[in-house]
Amino acid sequence: MDSLVALTGMQSEAKHPIRVVARLTGLSTHVIRAWERRYQAVRPVRTETGRRLYTRQDIERLQLMKLAVQGGRRISDVAHLKFEELGTLVDGDRSSTTRPVPGAGSSGEAGEYLHQSLQALEQLDKDELEQVLKDAAIALGSQRLRVEVIVPLMHTVGERWREGSLRIIHEHLVSSVVASMLTTLRDGSAGSQSAPRIVVTTPAGEYHELGALLAASAAQDLGWDVVYLGSNLPAEEIVLAAREFRARAVGLSIVQPATHLDRELRHIREHLDPGVVLLVGGRAAGRLQSFLAELDVHYIEDLTAFQEALESLTL
């Protein structure tokens, strides 16, 4: 009888549908389902029609797991922890940082991390730069880290390199540290066999892969199953990868213009299966907007536009 009462109480408390949970936690519905199915991270109540309903503690638990993953931990290592254990773990991760973290929600929070990152880079202090970005990931979350810290950081470094106030060694150092951070963020996210799949790479002759890494990290945050293939991939290999992995979309990052780029993009679009969406972004892509439109290729202006494009494909 007591267990029946407890179950009835849980059912009456569970009143939050998955889209509300996604909005409150910042996790996509695909990620929430994947964490539930693969790791039993939460156990929502099901209505008679099979609709998931979550309790307030389910939401708080998901928020804690998200913070743990953003701090560099794998979801498989934390999903089984009790609520109190999760809270203690996240508190410990936060307190282990070596600098005071600006108050959550403060308007200058991301700007302060950007400033600290540039200071560490100017001094060629690799350890400090890595620590600042780790702190930012915990405090801001992966999406804000990408959009409000990493993207403006790379833009600023590029501008200052062209001005001559930073040297090539600074650009190489920040690229290495950021690439490692983005890889860590991707490794900490869970994929799902039922999630839509995207192949992310750069075309032949394009060796700059930070844009592709940013895209791969953002796509995985949205619950996509990401096949990341690095840089400098010939057109026929991109087409083959999309076919073999049964991709819903292909994302390409293009930073440097190349004489053969038109030919490569045309080959990709003409040989991709008609249902595969081709998304192309990056500094050089902006100069090709008319050509991309002719090919029925989606030009992606920035990371936010990329996320919106992926979300529209899953509606």
Percent of the chain past pLDDT 90, that is, above it, reads: 40
Q: How many residues would you count in the chain?
A: 315
Same domain, 228 and 308: yes
The pLDDT assigned to 15 comes to 81
* Averaged pLDDT, 211-238: 92
Residue 159 inside a domain? The answer is: yes
**Of 70-84, 121-135, 160-174, 236-250, the least confident:** 70-84
Residue 24 lies in domain: 2-95
Tokens 């213009």 sit on residue:
257
pLDDT band at 163 (very low <50, low <70, confident <90, very high): confident
Is a pLDDT exceeding 50 seen at residue 106? Answer: no
Judged by DSSP in three states, 54 sits in strand
Asked which of 91-105, 156-170, 275-289 is least confident by mean pLDDT, the reply is: 91-105
- pLDDT for 19 beyond 90: no
At residue 103 the predicted structure's pLDDT band, cuts being 50, 70 and 90, is very low
Average pLDDT over residues 83-101: 71
User: In total, how many domains does the chain have?
Assistant: 3
Instruction: List alpha helices for 14-55, DSSP H.
Output: 18-25, 29-39
Q: What pLDDT is recorded for position 192?
A: 56
Write the CATH number for 144.
Answer: 1.10.1240.10
pLDDT exceeds 50 at position 53: yes
CA torsion sign, 190 to 192 to 198 to 202? positive
280, pLDDT greater than 80 = yes
In this prediction, residue 5 carries a pLDDT of 36
The answer to whether residues 165 and 116 belong to one domain is: yes
> Which residues partner with 203 through β-bridges?
233
**Does 102 score more than 50 pLDDT?**
no
Label residue 130 exposed, middle or buried (CB < 10 Å: 0-12, 13-18, 19+): middle
Question: Do 222 and 309 fall into the same domain?
Answer: yes
- Note the pLDDT tens digit of each residue in 171-189: 999 999 999 888 877 765 5
Closest by alpha carbon to 239, among 218, 260, 264, 214? Answer: 264
Task: Identify whether residues 133 and 170 lie together within a single domain.
Answer: yes
Residues paired with residue 40 on neighbouring β-strands, in sequence order: none
Q: Looking at the predicted structure, is the pLDDT value of residue 2 above 90?
A: no
Helix (H) or strand (E) holding 249: strand 249-253
Q: What angle do CA 46, 50, 53 make, to 5 degrees?
A: 40
For 195, the 3-state DSSP assignment is coil
**67 and 16, same domain (yes or no):** yes
Mean pLDDT of the region 118-125: 92
Q: What is the pLDDT of residue 315?
A: 63
Residues 213 and 135 in one domain: no
Q: What is the reported pLDDT for 91? A: 81
Q: Which two tokens stand for residue 90?
A: 């996240």
Residues 156 and 183 in one domain: yes
* Mean local confidence (pLDDT), 118-138: 90
Is there a domain that residue 101 lies in? no
pLDDT of residue 142: 83
Buried b (16+ CB within 10 A) or exposed e, 288-302: beeebeebebbbbee
- CATH code: domain of residue 71: 1.10.1660.10
Do residues 139 and 22 touch, judged by C-beta distance below 8 A?
Answer: no
The position carrying tokens 């936060």 is 94
End residue of a domain, out of 160, 187, 214 = 187
Evaluate whether 1 touches 9 at the Cβ level (below 8 Å): no
Q: Please determine, for residue 108, whether its predicted confidence score (pLDDT) is greater than 50.
A: yes
Of all residues in the chain, what percent are helix, strand and coil, respectively (each to 5)? 60, 10, 30
Q: Identify whether 103 is part of a domain.
A: no
Q: Percentage of the chain surpassing pLDDT 70?
A: 87
**Of the ranges 26-35, 176-185, 234-243, which is most confident?**
234-243
**234 in the same domain as 175:** no
- Answer with the one of 65, 95, 125 that is the final residue of a domain: 95
Average of per-residue pLDDT values in the chain: 84
